[in-house]
Amino acid sequence: MSNGKILEVCLNETDTKQLTNNVLKAGDLGVSRFELCSNLHLGGLTPSKPAIDSAVKSLTNNAQLVVMIRPEAGDFIVSAESHKLMEKQIIMAANAGVHGVVFGAVKHGKLDLEVTHSLVATAKQHGLMVTFHRAFDTLTNPLSALDKLISLGVDRVLTAGTPWQSGQSAVDGYKLLNTYLAHSANQIEIVIGGGVTLENAPTLWQLIKNHSAKAAVHVHSCVHNENGAINAEAINKLLSKD
């Protein structure tokens, strides 16, 4: 049972059998949403079509699948070439039957409005939800960016409330996350992710509860064992009643 909690589990593209098992198992345990990536050691890149197909087929209990759209590692500046490739990858993901896509575009510490607007339009034309990923945590004026993302029709933003690659966790970003939740006033879903553990997750669930917000907690390593398989006990603990 999810107990009203929206838990998003990040999955790395692995062998098809393990990916299928992970989606089936976690979905049966009440996970609301999966984010599928490849190359998580590079911050997450676009997964392959076979991996997307496997994940889509394995969904249970109305769980949703969103996929990373990020063709190359490095910063979040999107070149003209990357932009075209991202458009194609969004359409490929839509045709595979996913529920949403995850991307970000930043230039000089600000939202790349032109690219973001274009990618959002492509996603929406194909009936997809949009998450702006942790490129958000590189921005110099996140509150202004939050307003712009809302106006562009972005559905969610993934953030730790701490600077990208700072090594800090979402609990370290508590104050800023509190500000985002208040500022967004449920106009956009705040997905809290980055260093979430079984120990600090209750603090984040309570923060969401304080705002009566439609917000989610995003996890990866704390719900996988050393072999990359889903740990049922960990998911049960995260979704247990407070």
10 Å Cβ neighbour count for 108?
Answer: 7
At CB < 8 A and 24+ separation, what contacts does 200-208 make?
200/169, 200/170, 200/171, 201/238, 202/242, 203/171, 203/174, 204/170, 204/171, 204/177, 205/5, 205/242, 206/242, 207/174, 207/177, 207/178, 207/181, 208/181
Unique residue bearing structure tokens 């109305």: 62
Threshold 0.75, pTM exceeds? yes
Please check whether residue 215 is in contact with residue 6, taking contact to mean a CB–CB distance below 8 angstroms. yes
Please check whether residue 224 is in contact with residue 230, taking contact to mean a CB–CB distance below 8 angstroms. yes
Per-residue pLDDT of the chain (242 residues; tens, 9 = 90+): 467 899 999 999 988 999 999 999 999 999 999 999 999 988 999 999 999 999 999 999 999 999 999 999 989 999 999 999 999 999 999 999 999 999 999 999 999 999 999 999 999 999 999 999 999 999 999 999 999 999 999 999 999 999 998 999 999 999 999 999 999 999 999 999 999 999 999 999 999 999 988 899 999 999 999 999 999 999 999 999 76
Q: Which token pair is 157?
A: 């933003």
First-to-final CA distance of the chain:
13
Element (H, E) at 16: helix 16-28
* Torsion of the alpha carbons at 227, 66, 9 and 183, rounded to the nearest 10: 150
> Residue 98 and residue 118: Cα distance in Å, rounded?
19
Q: What is the pLDDT of residue 2?
A: 64
Q: Which domains does the chain have, with CATH numbers?
A: 6-238 (3.20.20.380)
Q: Which residues of 200-239 are buried (b: 16+ CB within 10 A; e: fewer)?
A: ebeebbebbeebebebbbbbbebbbeeeeebbeebbeebb
Query: Shortest CA distance to 111 belongs to which of 161, 149, 54?
Result: 149
Report which DSSP code applies to 38.
Answer: B
Please check whether residue 157 is in contact with residue 187, taking contact to mean a CB–CB distance below 8 angstroms. no
